[in-house]
Amino acid sequence: MGWPLIGETFQFFARSDSLEIPPFLRERSEKYGKIFKTSLAGRRVVVSSDPDFNHYILQQEGKLVELWYLDSFAEIIGQSTTSLKEAWNAQELHKSLKKSVYDHIGVERLKGKLVGRMEEMVGRTLDGWAGRAEAEDRGGVEVKRACSKMVMELSSNILFGHDPTKFHQHLSDMFESFTRGLLSFPLKIPGTTFHACLQSQKKILRIIMDVIEERRRRLEETAPLETPAVGRRGGGEIDLLDQLIDDARTKGFPDDKGISYLIFGLLFANAETIPSVLTLALSFLDDHPLLLHQLVKENEEILRSRGSTGGNGLTWKEYKSMSFTMNVINEALRLNGSVGIIRRTIEDVHINGYVIPKGWTIAVMPTAVHMNPDVYQDPLSFNPSRWKDIGGSTSTKNFIPFGGGMRTCVGAEYSKALMAVFLHVLVTKYRWKKVKRGRIYRAPTLQFGDGYFIHISRKND
């Protein structure tokens, strides 16, 4: 259990110099098994890389466990306030909020306009990268940071109509600072990484609150309170923020603070995962030209099959036909992993003759699950073809990049679609070459050392 108060927090943050499972998890699993106890930042925690137990726990929301975060993280994402914490854990409210979010980024929206908006945004982004890459002395484009900017521009506009041209600092830069401090030791002292994280959080929440206040003023000026939201951001289309403001009017929650934290959480979910997975995919494709050729072939076949009258934009049907592209994404998601999925016990939990007492924290570890050699042969290798043979029953318990149970990420299909659209546009219209790449490691999240830089050019240039 480590030292008093500190526990094994410092050991938890020890880095792995490769894609290997971090040493904290690997060493303790080898010694104690796939389920063991520890202490992190003053909390008693049960850590699990057991797929059957993980699956069971994630199905027990509201019965044996509840959504939970470690104290420093809870404060950052608005879970330290009792009213907000109780609200997020209220199942009916969670279902209502999840439906509101799904209505704006779910399958029906993707089938409608969202895939087209993604393709347009990706095209503009890659054109910009190609222009920047023409200057050889600038060292190329740093992929993860550039992807973060693209993802943040698209997602913030879809969620709350954010216009990045109105701000001196880009949201993606604020989230980069936020993410750096998120898993640092929680010292609220100026000059520390955690303090910078808190400052970035305040800036982001202020931007969101300013938009909420502006939207409410516009609503009061143009429509009576009993009128449903109709195009309140001026473009004739209701975004998620409009919907949440309506929910607050008709259902009494979320309030403006709750709305700001919800949008903040959705942006954060996009800010790290999608850029990391895309960077990892491009880096591995760079090392495996035969896999890249297979990816190009599948996506160019989509263009050829349209013929002369087949339209110009990627359709939902075409997206769903991209089987190898999705295998590439799944493999990058598997290798990317995540730090953990956290729950707190609200009743004693019995497992293998042991009792996890009420009030303890359970940390499900996707990275360890995704690196299980009993499920994934040669787990450190990048092998998209393995997904042809992995059935639904296997992946249900052994592939959890978007969580599980009733808290499965509502933006999972949105994230996969955006990554697929990015790869489609990239390999059909552009080519790239590596400039330089640092070491990939975990600390405990996936890091890209000194970055992954590329030069990109249009195929028809």
Cβ pair 440, 18 in contact under 8 A: yes
In whole angstroms, give the CA distance from residue 271 to residue 175: 7
In whole angstroms, give the CA distance from residue 318 to residue 448: 32
* Count of all residues that appear for the chain in the document: 461
Cβ pair 355, 345 in contact under 8 A: no
In whole angstroms, give the CA distance from residue 363 to residue 314: 39
Which among 87, 32, 49 has a CA at the least distance from the CA of 339?
49
Hey, what are 20's tokens? Answer: 């290997």
Contacting residues for 352 by C-beta, under 8 A, at least 6 apart: 35
Chain centre to alpha carbon of residue 210? 24
409 is in an annotated binding site: yes
Burial tier of 444 (Cβ tally within 10 Å: 0-12, 13-18, 19+): buried
Residues annotated within a binding site for heme: 409
Known binding-site positions:
409
